[in-house]
Structure 1
Amino acid sequence: MNFPAHDAALDANTFEQAYAALARAIHDETPDSVADPLHRMPDYQQMVGEALAPLDKWRAHALDGDPAQLPHQTGTPWSDLDRARIGHLADLIATMSTIGQNLNAHWSGSGAEHYSAYMTGISGRLNEYAGPNGYVQQAAAALEDAFAVRVAFKKDLLELARGAYDKIKSIDDGVSAGDLGMLCLMLASLGFGEIGIAGATIAGKVFAKAVTSLNDQAFATSKARVFLHGDLPKDIMKSFGTALEQIVEAHRNAAKQLEARMDTLWQRLCYSADEKYYPAIPVIDTSHTPSFSKQFYPR
């Protein structure tokens, strides 16, 4: 059983393959040789069980959800939102502007001024949604960042398992502890204090290029690293368990940062949707307007 390739899809099949390969390596490399009394270990099953325990925890995280199952029309959910913003909402702003210009060109007086001000206010509200940094684009960025957090978590989990697999398979090679199993952790390397400043996003730090489809990810280089130590599978996997906790905590921190941003956006959306903050619809008194009050009789 081979370990998945570096560019393998981050889906259930890949993680099941990784689990099976690492479990097989643990069984194969845990000493139990009867032919060599110096390496005979009566507690073979206990050592294998100790090694498999953190791997089972890893599997529970690895198989929890599939980011590629996000609903979308074409490309990605965030590109769908941006496409709607440009193709529909932006047109409404232009339409409102045209209506306002026509009103100003063909209508004058206090009524015209009231309606012109009203149209300007509504157009501004539309711009809050559909403008270059409006609510729709902010929601799209939040979706993209949520995807980036989840995919980076999956990538970290896969690379952690790869490091453990390589480390265990190298036991017979006599490589010194710590020389193998050095991993790049995507989420642990993020400077969350920088996220949201000057247009920085989580996705911009996780991915090397824009994700145009849910199966198209090129990962950026990470600076966070972890080492796996030990000369027996159970010791290596104990180190693996500690690193797994680091990865889960990094994912938790990233999710908290994202949740705070989403809460802020939600509060702004609720405020913007409250009609009491919209400009009042003008009410024009037409009771003394001859064209409205004159009675017409058939001849």
Structure 2
Amino acid sequence: MKKKIAVVLATAIAASMVFTGCSKKEDTYPSDSIQIVVPVKAGGDTDANARLLTKYMEKELGVAMPVVNVSGSSGTIGMEQVRSAEPDGYNALFFHTEAMLPEIADLVDYQLDAFKMAGVCLQANTTLLVTHKDSGFSTLQEFIDQAKANPGKIEFGMAVGGYPQLVGLALEKEAGIDLNLVDIGGNADKVAALAGHNTDIINVEYAVVKDYLETGEFVALAVLNDERNPLFSDIPTAKEQGLDNMVFGKFFFVAFPKETPDDIVNTFSAAMKKVVENPEFVKAAEDSYALTPVYMDPKEATEYAQQVYDKLNSYKDLFVAQ
């Protein structure tokens, strides 16, 4: 009898260990695919950067990470989809600095602190002020001088409601000039307009106009960064040319719904850190959009985002008045 009881107990304990192991496996994050929402159309740098990150993140986390483009309303449709999603770690937002603008423009009543940051993974210190070769100015100072001599005449091509408009407004304020800000669309439209001499100056990422710069068709007046970018160190910053506050790079981040558990966010963030430190990822980021892989953990990313917000929000009155 005792022998039978011992056998039954041993069997029960073994079964318990098996089921406990199964339960632990099910509770291990991640155990299913993680949907990455990109709140803009496919084909641009944001979409490409999200797909680059997920390609390497899938290897680290061992699950699929499909990128879903949910565009519209300055990114707020995709942002809201993630903000209101189940906080289980399987829905995340991939976006950049422009995520802050809808609230600044009074389009929504929430800011990035309505999400839980997983971290920053990339920085785009590549935003340029660019003109065409026949504009009549080839330096930032020449541009400013002409703008002061001809208020409201020089056309700044941009897209209403986005980062380019904010850059144009900031340029007017910081340089003390009056430009003709015209809504001509996104990067492709701006480049086409500049190439056709249908606008005078635009702000655009280096990689988008690299070929035009190399042929001399376009002229870079400044890079909007604290320091020169080592990938194109011949282009001076606006800061070193006297416009101290014209620093408008972009940072790319991943964020989850606000109530997502910290352990889930930290697991995702730790994997992202490994990706950012991967030499293959670094090279791919540099080769695609001349990006700088930079890792910030959830706390650092949250604090950094607040600093950037404070600066952008200082232009709120100008932005809302348009």
Alignment TM-score > 0.5, same fold: no
Report the TM-score range of the alignment, normalised by the length of the smaller protein: under 0.3
> How does the TM-score come out when normalised to structure 2?
0.25
Which structure is larger by alpha-carbon Rg, 1 or 2? 1
> How does the TM-score come out when normalised to structure 1?
0.26
Higher strand residue share: 2
Q: Which has the higher contact order (CA 8 A, sep 6+)?
A: 2
Higher helix residue share: 1
